Structure 1
Amino acid sequence: MTTYRVCCCFKRRFRSATGTPEAVKEVFEKYSQHGVMGPEELQRFMVEVQGEHKTTRQEAQAIVDAHRELKHLSAALHHHHKGLTLDGFFHHLFSENNSPISPVVHQDMKAPLSHYFVYTGHNSYLTGNQISSVCSDVPIVKALRRGVRVIELDMWPNSTKDDIDILHGGTLTTPVELIKCLRSIKEHAFTASPYPVIITLEDHITPDLQAKVAKMITETFGELLFVSKSEYLEEFPSPEELKMKIIISTKPPKEYLGKKSFKDKDQVSPKAAEDEAWGAEVEDLQVDQNELQIENEKELDEVHGDDDQKTQPYVAPEYKHLIAIKAIKRSSSLKDSLMVDPNKVTRLSLGEQKFEKAVACHAAELVRFTQRNILRVYPKATRVTSSNYNPLLGWSHGAQMVAMNMQGYGRSLWLMQGMFRANGGCGYVKKPDILMKNVFNPKAVLPVKKTLKVRVYMGDGWRYDFGQTHFDTYSPPDFYARIGIAGVQADAVMKKTKAIEDNWTPVWDEEFVFPLTVPELALLRIEVHEYDMSEKDDFGGQTCLPVWELRPGIRAVSLCDRKGDKLSSVKLLMRFEFI
């Protein structure tokens, strides 16, 4: 039985029914009698329009009873104890309870880890750019609170060589102690989700310090730590089996023997930085093939993510024992690296550009590899401003860990946040069957599988999240909405509404139709901007929603700020239909 709770935070915030869009009034008239929608009529609306077929009369009655308690509706409702007026109905539609995405975990969580996309961070300890920012446990905590499940730590000897620091080696980043990061991970690991947290370690330390790391990890995490009984797993456990567990993943120390010297994965001078603003993204989210190259890019790409280690006479067995998800050293042949071993599962890391080459030459092998093994993709070294790449290229080829810089913002990061709103925001999203049962080709021309119809009725709440002169000094704002799809190339498109002039509560009432060939990988992009004739249009909010999770019907869509944090009041009223 679904439990409905009515949020009372809409007091004074949303306009009365006099400004309700005509289409919503028509729906109310259809499902009400004499200006009142009783529990039976509300139940019928929930079933027929909202697609909530299991709604009971008791649940509909609970909605009516809860709305009667709202102070700003009480005067109208006291005369209609048996149902909702148009005002009450409108406020119900605009409430937190009427989200387009289910807040509960609902996917099968008993498949192996390799069957899931996992919310993954890159250089999780950095507070800003990749070259000179401060390293801290604060961004790690923020990531975990957002539901991120993969945290990356780069381990280096401290200045006196007797302890371990976390920093971006070969740069001017200020270090933070490993132990501080580990303690923060333990404290916040399961705040947002009970499903496992994976720590990917980049290891630049000597065996005596590896032993110290093993002691720190064991003592800090205790029973939370998942330790494999065998050297290599034959198959990954499931997220369900690994609930409330912390997992260590890195390359086993023996892989480092015989290497030349320490080599930092991202060693790149500030002068090699891309000339781009914080989080700047190409509008169409396509990879720019002309981006800055550096002379030693190939060398950086080879070692990034699984770095070299000084030659040592021995390894620390207690450290090696803790590595549950073992990363493999990539061979000189990409095709060889993607060979599937029937007797063991591993993790492979590929840099953004190496991954693009793999997509071009070995797309089928990539998909096949990721059906059993884990593939991690990470940003290229020249993204020193902490910008990002389009994550959909990784997901559409089965990559589970598409690692993103979370220090800034931008459309790529919005897509990442949108993907992981799925499945109750638990940080694990089950890969669609097309990636698990066959060798899927994202470039193939496929027939339309499903058509999504989106109607944008109206928006409200900006006056409470933005100052009166934020958009225009002397007049109300001129808002327009951009609606589109991010997904496989055939489905990707952006459209926009007309701008509504001088109105804090714009009513667009426009409809858009999106034919989808691969709805399983489609994300609905929603942005609101304020039209400015003389300058760049102002940002008014955004969100990104997984299409396969959309609940049909008339829904309240909360918008977020540039960083992905939910705005307190701004919402759009929209209708979703699958035809």
Structure 2
Amino acid sequence: IDSGSIQDDPDVKIMMAGSTLRKVKSRSWKKQRHFRLLEDGLTIWYKSRWAGRGHSTFSVTELEAVREGHQSEVLLSIAEEFPANLCFTLVFHGRQGNVDLVAESPEEAQAWIQGVRKLIHKAQTMDEKERLDQWVWDWFQKADKNKDGKMNFKEPKLMKLNKYKAPLLFPQMADKSDTGSLEIEEFVHFYKILTQRDEVWKVFQDYSGDGEKLMLEELENFLRIEQQEGEQSAQHAKELIDRYEPSETAKKQSAMSLDGFQMYLCSQEGSIFKPEHRHLYQDMSQPLSHYFISSSHNTYLLEDQLRGHSSLEAYIQALKRGCRCVEVDSWDGNDGEPIVYHGHTLTSKILFRDIISTLKEYAFKTSDFPVILSLENHCGVEQQTVMAQHLRQILGDTLLTTLLDGQIPQQLPSPQELKGKILLKAKKIGGLEDCNDETLTDEVSDDEEMANGEAESPTKSKSKLSRELSDLVVYCKSLHFHGFEHARLHAKCYEMSSFSESKAKRLTKEAGTDFIRYNTRQLSRIYPSGLRTDSSNYNPQDMWNVGCQIVALNFQTAGLEMDLNDGLFRQNNCCGYVLKPDFLRDGDTQFSPDKPEGRQGYRPLRLSIQVISGQQLPKVNQKEGSIVDPLVRVEIYGVPQDQAKEETSHINNNGFNPVWNETLNFIIHTPELALVRFVVEDYDKASRNDFIGQFTLPFMCIQAGYRHIHLLSKDGTAIPPSSLFVNVSISEFT
């Protein structure tokens, strides 16, 4: 298998030869490790020089980027000892911690920085076929126990191969050299036989006249009838042949072979997610209150709220995931510099100004749309003023400090108008109309809100507010909530309240429609209960159902709730803003999540999902020789009536290419709010099933037809080539 000419690259050659680099974990933990790139051009191997045989490896595909110089908290802390031109940081996808390294010379540092960047680029641009070849090669490496370049018959069981099919095929078909072991080329041939997917072949046969290829017209029929593509199917068929057909002969005939057909089905275009909804397709010129906004809680934490490590890295990760509302808890520091941590706990502390610098650098890397900085302020007036100075100096023009057109707004400005701006959400002296009162009443922090058992009118806390800080608040003035009626009569569109999850849940039940109307004009922020000391999350769906925009989650905690958040915000170019459905934007709306049939334009849909097969499902716990028993569950989240789960039976001992052919049916009453989550688990009759992978997307982004679902890990990162093959049909429910 060719890893291409990249291995002739001078930087990559240095990596293959190996280097001694210092791995740094803290100011006191700096140890030499020998690092090298293995022959596959994808695996980085390292070990301590003394620790006997123990070594570690990771794949270039797990890396997202390389940062040069002192670009991490750890490397900054040892900056006096090691100059920037020796230092670099390997940044991993998902929630895996970064690796900080120091080279022995600037030249060596450069070779690794540039070499790893080239390899990351190559890994990202591999096409489907190269990916599959790479996967085969990895398996051969893992299965070739004694490293003799052969794989004997005892080894394939490692391959999670179907244990019935392999032994039958192995002797006749693959072992040409008659030695009871496979060379790599034979192995690839063997793998191809094993992966000929009957279920894809059957679909191909239905449309192919000669059973060998799909002529242009036959492919058009398939796209029109099965994939429901309508008018554009003719044009699309031509493009697909150009893009995915590997055989030049077939291309010349305007035909598609089974190989090309399978590549198309496994591509982004064959995915369950509508390609046009991946891009920025929504109107971005409506008031901020008309959008769901991807929002993080306790953004400074990488772990839990009691002992967790406060870190700038947590801000970088949240912003890279498309988060548009980050939270800062600021407290008075000893030397006049405000610090950020989770008050009254053992979480570590970081400087306020360092967070603002990080925000400046990363705020708009993933999305141009505005970032809201939610300030939970526990500082005295003096350090509040210091915060105001840092905000102005570090953020400069990026910080919005004045009304957009000088006019007192009747409605909030739009994401489009606020592009590239950071908005401060905090308390403010007086309103935008007047600026007179030095003392601030009537405002409580999340903690006080919790302590008061959410009493409607907490004791008026008199806290002094710094005028400089107050002046930086424009469109997001924090205010205590006095009920929907009070808001309807008196509230300004730039005033916003925070609700704990339990209070928001109660309001949703008691006055759902009032909450929706309130949210058409004003922003509301929901935050997790103070009792969630493990930084667990609540289900955001209940809050989205009533139009709450800033539903803050602990981004650092993997699980269903973050899957839903990632799923909702996967559309619209992952820009962190999703336009609410029209019935959540209309100030006179009659919509109630509990009575979806009562709204105008109510049209329930039937969703039918035939779960056909799975491909290369990863083994969860890497016990020798253990094979997965996979099942698929489809979960619907939405208005209460739409919440549903259905699952297939499990298949014993086959993660390689399990076939279910089972159909799951759902009725969806409010399609515009529904999210669909596909989960694959390893069945275990004795204990809880193990999680294998998942993919979540908005119902409105689903493409009908034969589709692949590319699975994600618990952290929301891709795990190619793991996928599900399904046939989806959506019809009117009558």
TM-score, reference length from structure 2: 0.67
Structure 1: where are the runs of 5+ without partners? 268-295
For residues 456 and 477 of structure 2, the distance between their equivalents in structure 1, rounded to whole angstroms, comes to 13
Q: Distance in 2 between matches of 1:340 and 1:47?
A: 54
Q: Does the CA-based 8 Å contact 2:713-2:719 persist in structure 1?
A: yes
Q: Distance in 2 between matches of 1:126 and 1:134?
A: 6
2:613 to 442, 458, 474: 458
Residue 600 of structure 2 is aligned to residue 449 of structure 1: no
| Alignment match of 2:317 (pick from 124, 142, 158) | 142
Q: How does 1:363-382 map to 2 (within 5 A)?
A: 363-382=512-531
Amino acid in the other structure paired with 1:66: R
Find the structure with the greater CA-based Rg: 2
368-377 or 31-40: which moved more?
31-40
The letter for the 2-side match of 1:323 is V
Residue matched to 1:546: 698
Please tell me whether the aligned partners of residues 529 and 537 of structure 1 are also in contact (alpha carbons under 8 angstroms): yes
How far apart are 1:81 and its partner, in Å?
4.2
Which residue of the other structure, out of 195, 200, 209, is the alignment partner of 2:369? 195
Q: Cα–Cα, structure 1 residues 80 and 334, in superposed 2: closer, same or farther, change >3 Å?
A: closer
Q: State the alpha-carbon separation in 1 of the partners of residues 443 and 483 from structure 2.
A: 24
Question: CA 1:171–1:537 in structure 2 vs 1: closer, same or farther (change >3 Å)?
Answer: same
CA contact (8 A) 2:223 2:233 kept: no
Q: Take 2:514 and 2:573, find their aligned partners in 1: how far apart are those partners?
A: 31
Root mean square deviation of aligned Cα: 3.1
Change in 2 beyond 3 A, CA 1:195/1:264: closer
- 1:483 and 2:634 equivalent? yes
Q: In the alignment, what sits opposite 1:153?
A: 328
Q: Hey, what does 1:92 align to over in structure 2?
A: 264
Indicate the SS of the match to 2:132: coil
Does the 8 A contact of 1:478 with 1:502 survive in 2?
Answer: yes
Match of 1:169 among 343, 350, 361: 343
1:11 aligns with 2:164: no
2:359 maps to a residue whose letter is I
Deviations 1:527-555 (CA, angstroms, capped at 9, x unpaired)? 11111233332211112111011122222
Larger deviation, residues 500-509 vs 320-329: 320-329
Residue in structure 2 matching 1:299, options 452, 465, 473: 452
Match of 1:498 in 2: 649
- Conserved? CA contact 1:257–1:309, under 8 Å: no
Partner of 1:276: none
SS at match of 1:223: helix
CA contact (8 A) 1:264 1:307 kept: no
Distance 1:442 1:263, change over 3 A: closer
Question: Which of the numbers 534, 539, 543 marks the counterpart of 1:385?
Answer: 534
Which residue is equivalent to 2:499? Answer: 350
Which deviations, in whole Å up to 9, do the C-alpha atoms of 1:226-278 show, x marking residues without a partner?
A: 233259532111111222222111121459965799986448xxxxxxxxxxx
Q: Which residue of 1 aligns with 2:412?
A: 236
Query: How far apart are the structure 2 equivalents of 1:131 and 1:261?
Result: 29
The answer on 1:574 being equivalent to 2:723 is no
Whole-angstrom CA distance in 1 between matches of 2:442 and 2:550: 28
Structure 2: which amino acid aligns with 1:385?
A: D
AA matched with 1:496:
E
Does 52-61 or 204-213 show the bigger shift? 52-61
Structure 2 unaligned runs (5+)?
Answer: 1-125, 137-190, 432-436
Q: What is the one-letter code of the residue matched to 1:189?
A: A
Asked whether the 8 Å contact 1:128–1:134 carries over to 2, the reply is yes
Residue 508 of structure 1 corresponds to 660
- Using the alignment, how far apart are the partners of 1:133 and 1:21 within structure 2? 47
| Alpha-carbon distance in 2 for matches of 1:309, 1:386 | 28
Change in CA separation of 1:476 and 1:307 when aligned onto 2, cut-off 3 Å: farther
| 2:488 matched residue in structure 1 | 339
Distance 2:344 2:270 in 1: 50
Alpha-carbon displacement from aligned partner over 1:435-481 (angstroms, at most 9, x marks no partner): 1231321111627611111121111122xx547x72x6435321111
The one-letter code matched in structure 1 to 2:480 is R
Provide the residue aligned with 1:292 in structure 2: none
1:432 aligns with 2:581: yes
Q: Give the whole-Å Cα distance in 2 for the aligned partners of 1:17 and 1:452.
A: 34
Instruction: Give the distance between the partners of 2:396 and 2:344, measured in 1 at CA.
Output: 33
Matched, 1:186 2:341: no
CA contact (8 A) 2:446 2:498 kept: no
Q: Separation in 1 of the partners of 2:215 and 2:306?
A: 62
The alpha-carbon deviation at position 20 of structure 1 amounts to 5.9
Gap change, CA 1:321 and 1:54, over 3 Å in 2 = farther
CA distance in 2, matches of 1:308, 1:506: 63
CA offsets 1:158-200 (integer angstroms, 9 cap, x no match): 123x111111112221111111111111211122222211111
Are the counterparts in 1 of residues 619 and 628 from structure 2 also a CA contact under 8 Å?
no
Deviation at 1:58, TM superposition (A): 5.6
Q: Which of residues 206, 224, 231 in structure 1 aligns to 2:398?
A: 224
SS at match of 2:639: coil
Residue pair 2:299, 2:327 contacting (<8 A) in 1 also = yes
Go from structure 1 to structure 2 and tell me whether the alpha carbon gap of 1:149 and 1:344 turns closer, same or farther (over 3 Å shift): closer
TM alignment of 1:395-406, pairs within 5 A: 395-406=544-555
Secondary structure at 1:323 match in 2? coil
Q: Give the C-alpha shift of residue 149 in structure 1.
A: 0.9
Greater Cα shift, 207-216 or 78-87: 78-87
Q: Deviations over 1:463-517 (max 9, x none)?
A: xx547x72x6435321111112111111111111111111121111211111111
Counterpart amino acid of residue 282 in structure 2: Q
Sort the Cα spacing of 1:308 and 1:266 in 2 relative to 1 into closer, same or farther, 3 A.
same
How many equivalent residue pairs? 533
SS in 1 for 2:307: coil
Q: Is the 8 A contact 2:242 2:251 kept in 1?
A: no
2:677 maps to a residue whose letter is R
Deviations 1:50-98 (A, max 9, x none): 23446465653343233345xxxx5xx6566432212221122012342
Matched, 1:329 2:479: yes
Query: How far apart, in 2, do the equivalents of 1:107 and 1:6 lie?
Result: 30
Q: Which amino acid aligns with 1:451?
A: R
Q: CA deviation at 1:303?
A: 11
Q: Deviations over 1:264-308 (max 9, x none)?
A: 6448xxxxxxxxxxxxxxxxxxxxxxxxxxxx945164699x999
Residue 208 (structure 2) aligned to one of 32, 35, 39:
32
Q: 1:144–1:303: structure 2 CA closer, same or farther, 3 Å change rule? A: farther
Matched, 1:60 2:237: yes
Which structure has more relative contact order (CA 8 Å, sep 6+)? It is 1
Structure number having the greater helix percentage: 2
C-alpha distance in 2 between matches for 1:511 and 1:91? 24
8 A Cα contact 1:155 1:202, kept in partner: yes
1:41 is aligned to: 218
Q: In structure 1, what is the Cα distance between the partners aligned to 2:391 and 2:218?
A: 58
1:246 pairs with 2:422: yes
8 Å Cα contact 2:302/2:314 also seen in 1: yes
* Contact 2:286/2:414 (<8 A) preserved: yes
Residues in 2 aligned to 1:79 and 1:43: alpha-carbon distance in whole angstroms: 16
Query: For the residues of structure 2 that align with 1:375 and 1:573, how far apart are their CA atoms?
Result: 40
With 45-54 and 473-482 compared, the bigger mean Cα shift is at 45-54
Q: Secondary structure at the match of 1:371?
A: helix
What's the secondary structure of 2:515's corresponding residue?
helix
1:535 aligns to what? 687
Query: Which moved further from structure 2: 212-221 or 505-514?
Result: 212-221
Query: Cα gap change, 1:308/1:183 in structure 2, threshold over 3 Å: closer, same or farther?
Result: farther
Structure 1 segment 548-567 matched on structure 2, within 5 A: 548-567=700-719
Tell me how far apart the structure 1 counterparts of residues 242 and 365 of structure 2 sit (CA, whole Å): 32
